[in-house]
Amino acid sequence: MQYRASHILVSDRARAQELVIKAKQGADFASLAREFSSCPSKSSGGDLGWFGPGAMVQPFEYAVKNLGVGSISDVVQTQFGYHVIKVTGKKD
């Protein structure tokens, strides 16, 4: 299985929670990523491209596997910080 996702990475859980709420209320995810994310992917609206199993850290991959396409995660914590993830594709 291959996955495609975008994310917003921040260092503060409270900020991540605010971004989850905004994204789930319909704010443009790519715009939020460009404005708030600390990941270099912010320049592409948070898009991480296609990736397979084992390419991402376990909590991130677990969230992506368990979300439907178009879904936005709750806050996901990894060693890099706090992520808000939007799954944009899945393919076999």
65 backbone dihedrals φ, ψ, rounded to 5°: -60, -35
Residue 11, Cβ neighbours under 10 Å: how many?
A: 10
Looking at residue 23, its pLDDT comes to: 98
pLDDT digits (tens, 9 = 90+) for 32-60: 999 999 999 999 999 999 999 999 999 99
Looking at residue 72, its pLDDT comes to: 98
pLDDT band at 25 (very low <50, low <70, confident <90, very high): very high
52 backbone dihedrals φ, ψ, rounded to 5°: -110, 180
Q: pTM of the prediction?
A: 0.96
Residue 61, Cβ neighbours under 10 Å: how many?
A: 19
* Tally of domains in the chain: 1
Q: Which domain holds residue 49?
A: 2-91
pLDDT digits (tens, 9 = 90+) for 61-89: 999 999 999 999 999 999 999 999 999 99
Distances (CA, A) of 62 to 3, 43, 78: 11, 25, 11
Instruction: Provide the CATH number for the domain around residue 84.
Output: 3.10.50.40
The one-letter code for the residue type at 23 is A
